[in-house]
Amino acid sequence: MSKPFDLLIVGGGISGTALLYLASKYSDIKHIGMLEKYAASARVNSLHSNNSQTLHCGDIETNYTLEKAQKVKRAARMVERFATAQPDIDHLIFKYPKMVLGVGATECQRLRERFEVFSPHFPNMRLLELKDIARIEPAVAYSKGTLRQDEVVALGSEDEYTAVNFEALSRSFIRQAKKAEGKEVEVHFNQQVVKIKKQDDGMYRVTTEDTSYLTRTLVACAGGHSLRMAHQMGFGRHFSVLPVAGSYYFTPQVLNGKVYTVQNDKLPFAAIHGDPDVMVPGKTRWGPTALVLPVLERYNWQTMKDFFRVFKFDIKVWNVLYDLLKVTDIRNYMAKNFLFEIPFLRKSLFLKDARKIVPDMAYKDLTFASKVGGVRPQLIDKNNRKLLMGESKISTGEGLIFNVTPSPGATTCLENAEIDLRTVVKLLGANFDEEGFARDLLDDGPTNDENATSRMLNAS
Ligand SMILES: Cc1cc2nc3c(=O)[nH]c(=O)nc-3n(C[C@H](O)[C@H](O)[C@H](O)COP(=O)(O)OP(=O)(O)OC[C@H]3O[C@@H](n4cnc5c(N)ncnc54)[C@H](O)[C@@H]3O)c2cc1C
């Protein structure tokens, strides 16, 4: 066993690696470690192909209120500031035009109203009429060689960083963390944590399949598995998890940038969009769908047993599911998303949705993107009979934090890490380099309860 860590992070996705970076660069915590069960970082939801690669700024996400949008934008700016300062910026962050498209009178009216409210806070946001859309995204504006006849309008911007390869970003975080002077930063791959136990001396013993580690504080950034770890330690038992997988389709390149669609307010998940895949040149990627699956990791059926251990189906979980299923729009949406997975059927069904964006899209152009797309671990709050959207953290006040990070958890990785680091620093009696942190990553003040995107949950 190595000497005890001051901070040990479990999970080497974008959340864990962001915390590793912040702790080594902006605190005087000496001995910092990260354990990842796979042989490399970001193999699960942060893998380049498993998420939509969007740096969410909240302006074109019509499911975000202005308040939420401003919080997300603040967090996104931290990622942008880090990534644009790196020598390998071209592999990390990308500029594409982006827009949210309204189709039909109701959606167009909604976007015009949104523009009035949001544009003072998003100076780059433009109201795009059909001719503007035609200039930026001809395939959206034209049908059969002429401008489309249905009413459309969009909100968007043309010169912003809109896409991130979160997998490459997590490698960058690790590289930078290891460069920190006067620190012992250890990253151990192929280390699956199987047990965490608090010892009488207040330290945590973290057992993996072949060894064990001691640490003063521990932050779990293990997606849905974080909740499993919390349950094992006796925390957050009033939470269950609903894993919502997302699938994608490819077409030849028809879009120049990101084109989102207006969210149906009754649905808990974002409507589909089309955009370039930063790792697959010459194609446009479409999705994600939203399919409830009994696994904590997509395409890893071994995680089904972990899912059932945290799902803990009971009347309270049923009540939340019942509340969802009794809404006709949600029921139909869930059924449709199930059909999106059925070969032979899925392409024609998905085509209908995608033609809202590109009216002339052809059946033959659509290909199901095999082994692409991750799982959003949405928490179920059993006590308050609610499905929780967005990222959550269960903080125990005793040196243990459990992060569960559905979308937009990749965009908010640095902000989430900042919150955790502030907690850990306090517990350890260490120092946070406020000046350096603000200089490098913040446009304005530090993260507090008011401007944080992630939700702090009661541990018991
Ligand atoms: C379809 C889809 C689209 C999305 N699109 C976007 C988007 O466009 N923009 C955005 O901001 N967010 C998006 N998200 C959300 C984003 O992908 C996640 O919030 C983010 O990747 C979560 O990162 P993480 O590090 O917390 O979790 P993960 O990337 O899942 O990493 C968790 C890590 O923990 C490790 N681990 C688990 N158990 C153990 C154990 N017992 N021991 C050791 N290690 C363990 C895993 O191997 C993994 O490496 C999307 C998600 C999905 C599913």
Query: How far apart are alpha carbons 212 and 161 in whole angstroms?
Result: 42
Residue 394 tokens read as 């269960």
pLDDT above 70: percentage of residues in the chain: 100
Going by C-alpha positions, the residue among 186, 294, 202 that lies closest to residue 244 is 294
Which mutation among 9, 20, 44, 244 tests ligand 1's pocket best, with the greatest number of atoms within 8 A of CB?
44
The sign one gets for the Cα dihedral 136, 138, 139, 141 is positive
Q: How far is the CA of 14 from the centre of ligand 1 (A)?
A: 7
Q: How far is the CA of 47 from the centre of ligand 1 (A)?
A: 8
Confidence class for position 121, pLDDT limits 50, 70, 90? very high
Q: What local confidence, expressed as pLDDT, does residue 105 receive?
A: 97
Query: How far apart are alpha carbons 451 and 416 in whole angstroms?
Result: 11
Ligand 1 atom nearest to 47, measured from its CA = 29
Residue 293 tokens read as 């699956």
Q: What local confidence, expressed as pLDDT, does residue 458 receive?
A: 80
Q: How far is the CA of 303 from the centre of ligand 1 (A)?
A: 14
Nearest residue (by CA) to ligand 1, atom 16, is 410
Nearest residue (by CA) to ligand 1, atom 1, is 246
Residue 55 tokens read as 């740096």
Per-residue pLDDT tens digits for 161-174: 999 999 999 999 99
Nearest residue (by CA) to ligand 1, atom 50, is 51
Confidence class for position 22, pLDDT limits 50, 70, 90? very high
Confidence class for position 1, pLDDT limits 50, 70, 90? low
Confidence class for position 133, pLDDT limits 50, 70, 90? very high
Q: How far is the CA of 51 from the centre of ligand 1 (A)?
A: 8
Average pLDDT, integer, range 25-32? 97
Average pLDDT, integer, range 417-424? 96
Average pLDDT, integer, range 50-67? 95
The answer on pLDDT for 460 being more than 80 is: no
**Number of residues assigned to the chain:** 460
Per-residue pLDDT tens digits for 3-19: 999 999 999 999 999 99
The answer to whether the CB of 244 is under 6 A from ligand 1 is no
The answer to whether the CB of 457 is under 6 A from ligand 1 is no
Per-residue pLDDT tens digits for 324-375: 999 998 898 888 888 888 888 888 999 999 999 999 999 999 999 999 999 9
Nearest residue (by CA) to ligand 1, atom 32, is 222
The CATH architecture that domain 5-457 belongs to is 3-Layer(bba) Sandwich (3.50)
Q: What is the pTM of this model?
A: 0.96
Cα pseudo-dihedral 378, 455, 274, 271, rounded to 10:
60
* Cβ-contact 405, 391 below 8 angstroms: yes
At 409, give phi and psi (nearest 5°). -60, -25
Angle at 44 between CA 234 and CA 410, to 5 degrees: 85
The answer on pLDDT for 47 being more than 90 is: yes
Per-residue pLDDT tens digits for 134-156: 999 999 999 999 999 999 999 99
Per-residue pLDDT tens digits for 270-313: 789 999 999 999 999 999 999 999 999 999 999 999 999 999 99
Per-residue pLDDT tens digits for 178-216: 999 999 999 999 999 999 999 999 999 999 999 999 999
The answer on pLDDT for 448 being more than 90 is: no
Per-residue pLDDT tens digits for 387-412: 998 889 998 989 999 999 998 999 99
The answer on pLDDT for 49 being more than 90 is: yes
